[in-house]
Amino acid sequence: MKLSVIVIDAINKYKDDLELFLSSVFNVGCHVAINSEFRCAVVIEHSGRICACGFGYERKMYQNQIYFKGGIVGGIAVSSPLQFIILISSKVNGVNLFIGGVWLNRTHLYSYQKSWL
């Protein structure tokens, strides 16, 4: 398995493949929107195909009368045959390593399973 951290300068090269992968995992058309908060995508490939991904974002936030720079980990998706905890932790660690390098005060993880919707 190969883990890659893809930064904003290189994301367009992977965008179509990520959209196809996300659409297949969630069984609905997905669009990867690259906005000013986007910092990186973490992609895990197995046999040359994407089998897991996640995205890292940075956002100015406000809580308890304090402004801070927060990191958001989202878009976590793992193909059904490979839904192992090690893949999820690898992606989260990869995103946290990258967005942690931009001196965030807090990091938030947003994740869901289709059956929860």
The pLDDT tens digits along the chain (117 residues) read 888 999 989 999 999 999 999 999 888 999 888 899 999 998 988 888 898 898 988 888 888 888 888 878 788 888 876 665 545 555 566 666 555 555 555 555 555 455 544
Report how far residue 40's alpha carbon sits from residue 58's, in angstroms, rounded to the nearest whole number.
10
The stretches of 27-103 forming alpha helices (DSSP H) are 85-100
Enclosing domain of residue 19 = 2-116
**Token pair for residue 15?**
């965008």
* β 49-63/2-7 pair status: unpaired
* β 49-63/66-78 pair status: antiparallel
Which residue's entry shows tokens 């793992």? 78
What burial class does residue 27 get, using C-beta atoms within 10 Å of its C-beta: 0-12 exposed, 13-18 middle, 19+ buried?
exposed
- pLDDT for 22 equals 93
Domain count of the fold of the chain:
1
**CATH number of residue 27's parent domain:** 3.40.630.30
